[in-house]
Structure 1
Amino acid sequence: MTGTAIGVAGGTLALAGVSARVAAPAAGRLYTLADAPTAPVVIVPGARVRNGWPMPMLRGRLDVAVALLADGRARSVLVSGDAGGRSGDEIAAMTGYLVAHGVGREVIATDPYGLDTYDTCHRAAQVYGVTTALIATQDFHLPRAVALGRRAGIDMAGVVAGCDCRLRTRVRNVLREYLLSRPKALVEMHFPRPPRVGSAADGASTGILA
């Protein structure tokens, strides 16, 4: 085996180890929509929007929230993303989509400073007082999201969201998850940092997330 091959094999094993360590706290806490448990709130992390409307990945997450609210397995929803995102206002797009699909504004809380998954989870706990929650996102992202939520002090379970995405989009996101996001999460889990925006009044005192 050449030195290059050995290096590639070693790097692959290292990444696999990192991924397993990040995902470990989520073991036994990942569900499909059909078997998801109940919780006071479902958290929807943001993703790209286009022309003020969620793109397929984000729509998949929101559709899970709509279903959980409709059958009473969640009483409220916290949409958490970047209101000043490069693709547009994720919060406005998510809120508009939920309302268009029959969700009352009175059960929607908004966090415009969920700039990444870590911030979404820590702000949910610290700013919005969330102690028990479901989180809805795609399968490749879900173990990390649940692990970070639990590290933030939330009794969290994850619900798999679909994605009517192009293969190229899915491959790009899976690669980013394993090559970049999980190594970053491992550092954050062992060396917690404050959220980049630590406090905001949005939704924090409404009581709908209790």
Structure 2
Amino acid sequence: MTLEAELPEPRDEDHGPDEPAEQPRGRRGRSPWVTIPAGVVLGLLLIAVLTPLTVGARVWYQARQDERPRSDAIIVLGAAQYNGEPSPTLRWRLQHALDLYRDGVAPAIVTVGGKAPGDNYTEAGSGRTWLIEKGGVPADRVVAVPVGRDTLGSLRAAGAEFDRRGWSSAVIVSDPWHGLRAKKMAADHGIEAAASPTRSGPSVQTRETQFDYIVRETGAYLSYVLLGKSVQVPNETIRRINIDPSVAPSGAPSDPQPSR
């Protein structure tokens, strides 16, 4: 006679202390050290992609705004000058500032910008002279701040001048793609700034040129916000040789690179 008995399945506690319990097949546990780094990497990739795209969109949007609130002064950002004569880019900016002044946007104009090595005149001084002699603006309504070879240096000096005069607000005149960065730098130096860009010049000539300027300004803006530095993009430092006899003195190059 044979007896058949059903033996109970072994439980975890039936294993010895040195005997690991057998896990069910196909149900291995996932280590959190695999999931967490993957999520971090994905998040960093999203930030790396979305941040420049977001800033680029803001540069593009700001470039299409023409802000003209009543302000204490109009700030004309510097561009090249040749022996005291404004380059085409600087002249476009000065003319736009003159139009704003005549429209009553502000009772004063501030020109900014120092001089390159070897120059006899500053950008700010050349702009002030043009506004007085060619634009007919009273001399006591034009303030020259001849400091800075980049946007940050010029707006830092302009902020100090605004403090000295008790001013707090300004409309910045520059190229369209430059507006977002210029407003941020001005705000960081105590100026409540708006931007009214010029609509003339090489920065708005073709779609390819516009895209190039947006990419440059996106990088420059991120460099300033993240590192506190004013990166001199190529159009801030390089002058292409291109004779413009109607504006520049004989033998002097024109300035097709507008932003600073």
Q: Choose the corresponding residue for 2:123, options 77, 84, 90.
A: 90
Deviation for aligned residue 1:45:
0.7
- Residues 1:142 and 2:179 are matched in the alignment: yes
How far apart in 2 are the matches of 1:107 and 1:45? 17
Count of residues paired in the alignment: 179
Contact 2:186/2:192 (CA < 8 Å) preserved in 1? yes
Percent of aligned positions that are identical? 23
1:19-52 deviation digits (Å, cap 9, x = unpaired): 74387599779743xx622111010110012342
- Highest relative contact order (Cα 8 Å, sep 6+), 1 or 2? 1
Corresponding residue number in structure 2 for 1:128:
162
Corresponding residue number in structure 2 for 1:73:
105
1:117-143 deviation digits (Å, cap 9, x = unpaired): 112222222343242111011112122
- In structure 2, give the amino acid aligned to 1:148: M
Q: Choose the corresponding residue for 1:105, options 128, 139, 146.
A: 139
Change (3 A) 1:139 1:47: same
- In structure 2, give the amino acid aligned to 1:183: G
Larger relative strand fraction: 1
Corresponding residue number in structure 2 for 1:185:
221
Deviation for aligned residue 1:175:
3.3
- In structure 2, give the amino acid aligned to 1:54: P
Unaligned runs of 5+ in 1: 1-12, 195-210
Deviation for aligned residue 1:166:
8.9
Unaligned runs of 5+ in 2: 1-46, 231-260
RMSD over aligned Cα atoms: 3.7
Deviation for aligned residue 1:165:
4.4
Of structures 1 and 2, the larger Rg is shown by 2
In structure 1, the residue corresponding to 2:131 is in which secondary structure?
A: helix
In structure 1, the residue corresponding to 2:147 is in which secondary structure?
A: coil
- Residues 1:37 and 2:69 are matched in the alignment: yes
Change (3 A) 1:58 1:151: same
How far apart in 2 are the matches of 1:151 and 1:169? 32
- In structure 2, give the amino acid aligned to 1:92: G
- In structure 2, give the amino acid aligned to 1:156: A
Deviation for aligned residue 1:71:
2.2
Instruction: Report the TM-score, using the length of structure 2 for normalisation.
Output: 0.56
Mapping 1:191-206, distance limit 5 Å: 191-192=227-228
How far apart in 1 are the matches of 2:140 and 2:96? 18
Q: Which moved further from structure 2: 165-174 or 110-119?
A: 165-174
Contact 2:59/2:179 (CA < 8 Å) preserved in 1? no
How far apart in 1 are the matches of 2:60 and 2:208? 22
Change (3 A) 1:177 1:51: farther
Contact 1:146/1:156 (CA < 8 Å) preserved in 2? yes
In structure 2, the residue corresponding to 1:160 is in which secondary structure?
A: coil
1:40-99 deviation digits (Å, cap 9, x = unpaired): 101011001234211221111111211121122111111110134666531222112101
